[in-house]
Structure 1
């Protein structure tokens, strides 16, 4: 079983110094939007230096570790992990800071100019508001270069608000996952939603207000829903980018990192991959909302359990934690095809889950004789394991160790 602290932390030596002399770089990224953005920032800097590289996205700590060990490196080869790994390689990020911020430091040290729109999207994926804290200079750079502009409305990746709102995994309303229901809801606003280019600021403001009311007005919506929906309103648009807003870009990075990582990596590296990326995002959003709509739920002290037949467990967990859970921690459990199961833990607050998720994976192996792999990220944990007879096995193990 892998442990989080065995890789070489970036604090031990600047990653930029390691990359300066590299003949080839293998980037091993965690499967989320923050890590994907970080890999794209580093990859673009390596292109500037004419340094050959390869980007791989690993779904679990074990998967990244195996990829690190699979190659016979040359003397000047370097492997950089973005996420926990059980291998003696350079680690870009640390657990209490977004990988995107670490990548920005590295890229600037290498003398390259990072793409501020990609960086902002990675930070939003890590739950950092654009311009907050260390990212203030990133937002100001993007604004000074005319790469972002604020407007009313909703942070979605498409100019078409019907398409964007229906498939967003940053929103949850009665129309989520259903494009016809979304069109019908917006049609009642007396706005020409079928002609996105004709939409003016007041139209976007009306759409944003209607969406927010639907989200927070749901009978099951907890207090966290109002705070979360605010992050998806009044977005930064990206006039020069194929994806419509920074928040929408973050949503696409999250979706592709888990559903089609090769497409997501290509998008983050600046290739013309936005159409297949948007297609993956639509599928990801549709599946997440369908799974949550059809889920069965149960509530324990401090834990809200969501059982689904199939679907992206982390997206379902994030939606449930933000918009449905009366408890601070959400557990999503899914049995998938092919003899494996998946689970996700998501917290409503900035609680560290890394050690807990690793203990759960160990307990499944040691006490339940279940082969389990795991991964951790900001406010979330992921488990993939051999199918077990009863989902209650996962629930009981989590309750014991949470």
Structure 2
């Protein structure tokens, strides 16, 4: 099981979440800025809408997940983590938050969208096959079909391969380079099984043979291969997960609307492309340093746009870091990601942020911090290393 953000055995189960929502007059969701949490929010919020329970939802972009002000008369739910100030939480324990939310929605007598739940699973770094019941519900309704190929959100192959953040290949972020590689393959207009396999081989080869690729890259790129095709707003579950996860950080309002089922495909894809290009460019141009158990990348903002530290940290961990913890630092913010066997990253980020008079937090394998821009990258790296 690969879910991030485990919170231990005390996390509420589906029945407890459903009971809390069923008895509420008004529910306020605060979702962690990632695809799993957004999928979970959408699943429960849609169930509440069906039941006639009013709600409001927002996305917490900072590492501080404390309960919002002016919520004394409403039921508050934190999605994607736990915090003692909330009335309850939809948080990953032994499964992604989206799987827990899908079960809670069914407890509320709703008919939740299994494709959205599966997108949450992939965003949580899991695989749909690990959650057979959810996958079976999607397949029994002919909503998904696994096939060879690549898990991108759009039928435009060059666009999808250039901007997917499920891999960091030699051509990532460069649609022209992808177009040239595709031309060499001479693929048919209607992609058959053989053509799909050639696409998958292209992405895998360009990922593992790229400059600086680590042995972990060969395993990490598997997330983008053998996708689950869908007739929804995006061509694959894996592509849907990629868009939802990235847009949660780039344009959280759009990501939330997407999770709630609104027609925001075009702005979501626009945000995904812009964010992905900056992340791939930042990683390729990063200044790196290696310590015992930690790999650090210092990145710069590009063309006046903020550096996407969280997405870049995940790409760094999966495709470039020889160490189990990857830390990305930019002007006034930082993010860290760890491999599955590591933990306490959120606590370490909070400690490091406090040491430089900033704020931070996160979960077992992911963390985020914000601090004053005059704090140097070296100062934050030192603070983080001392917190480890």
- Runs of 4+ aligned structure 1 residues displaced above 3 Å come to 94-97
Deviation of 1:13 (Å): 7.6
Structure 2 CA distance, aligned partners of 1:37 and 1:251? 12
Query: Which residue of 210, 230, 237 corresponds with 1:218?
Result: 210
Q: Residue 89 and residue 60 in structure 1: after superposition, are their counterparts in 2 closer, same or farther (change >3 A)?
A: farther
Provide structure 2 residue ranges, at least 5 long, that are not aligned to the other structure: 1-5, 302-306
Structure 2 CA distance, aligned partners of 1:206 and 1:304? 33
Query: Which residue of 288, 292, 311 corresponds with 2:279?
Result: 288
Query: Which residue of 121, 126, 129 corresponds with 2:127?
Result: 129
Contact 1:307 1:333 in 2 (8 A): yes
5 Å-filtered alignment, 1:235-384, equals 235-239=227-231, 241-310=232-301, 311-335=307-331, 341-353=332-344, 356-365=345-354, 368=355, 370-377=356-363, 379-384=365-370
Structure 1 CA distance, aligned partners of 2:173 and 2:311? 13
Q: Residue 300 and residue 289 in structure 1: after superposition, are their counterparts in 2 closer, same or farther (change >3 A)?
A: same
Structure 2 CA distance, aligned partners of 1:119 and 1:252? 14
Aligned to 1:338: none
Query: Which residue of 195, 200, 207 corresponds with 1:208?
Result: 200
Contact 1:302 1:327 in 2 (8 A): yes
Secondary structure of residue in 1 paired with 2:342: coil
Query: Which residue of 28, 36, 52 corresponds with 1:34?
Result: 36
Contact 1:173 1:218 in 2 (8 A): yes
1:18 paired with 2:10, answer no
Deviation of 1:142 (Å): 0.7
Secondary structure of residue in 1 paired with 2:347: helix
Deviation of 1:283 (Å): 0.8
Aligned to 1:92: 90
Aligned to 1:79: 76
Deviation of 1:374 (Å): 2.0
Deviation of 1:184 (Å): 0.8
Q: Residue 153 and residue 84 in structure 1: after superposition, are their counterparts in 2 closer, same or farther (change >3 A)?
A: same
Contact 1:61 1:84 in 2 (8 A): no
Contact 1:131 1:140 in 2 (8 A): no
Q: Residue 360 and residue 243 in structure 1: after superposition, are their counterparts in 2 closer, same or farther (change >3 A)?
A: closer
Q: Name the TM-score, length of structure 2 as normaliser.
A: 0.92
Contact 2:352 2:384 in 1 (8 A): no
Q: Residue 188 and residue 231 in structure 1: after superposition, are their counterparts in 2 closer, same or farther (change >3 A)?
A: same
Q: Residue 13 and residue 109 in structure 1: after superposition, are their counterparts in 2 closer, same or farther (change >3 A)?
A: closer
Deviation of 1:358 (Å): 2.5
Secondary structure of residue in 2 paired with 1:152: coil
Deviation of 1:98 (Å): 1.7
Deviation of 1:219 (Å): 4.0
Deviation of 1:79 (Å): 1.1
Aligned to 1:164: 160
Q: Residue 393 and residue 95 in structure 1: after superposition, are their counterparts in 2 closer, same or farther (change >3 A)?
A: farther
Aligned to 1:112: 110
Structure 2 CA distance, aligned partners of 1:271 and 1:186? 33
Aligned to 2:171: 175
Contact 1:26 1:53 in 2 (8 A): yes
Deviation of 1:363 (Å): 4.6
Query: Which residue of 228, 231, 254 corresponds with 2:223?
Result: 231
Task: Decide which moves more: 259-268 or 81-90.
Answer: 81-90
Contact 1:61 1:85 in 2 (8 A): no
Structure 2 CA distance, aligned partners of 1:158 and 1:377? 31
Q: Residue 140 and residue 96 in structure 1: after superposition, are their counterparts in 2 closer, same or farther (change >3 A)?
A: closer
Deviation of 1:359 (Å): 4.1
Task: Decide which moves more: 373-382 or 264-273.
Answer: 373-382
Aligned to 1:148: 144
Q: How many residues align?
A: 375
Contact 2:283 2:299 in 1 (8 A): yes
Deviation of 1:371 (Å): 3.0
Q: Residue 210 and residue 143 in structure 1: after superposition, are their counterparts in 2 closer, same or farther (change >3 A)?
A: same
Deviation of 1:185 (Å): 1.2
Deviation of 1:262 (Å): 0.9
Structure 2 CA distance, aligned partners of 1:364 and 1:285? 26
RMSD of the TM alignment (CA)?
Answer: 2.0
Q: Residue 95 and residue 352 in structure 1: after superposition, are their counterparts in 2 closer, same or farther (change >3 A)?
A: farther
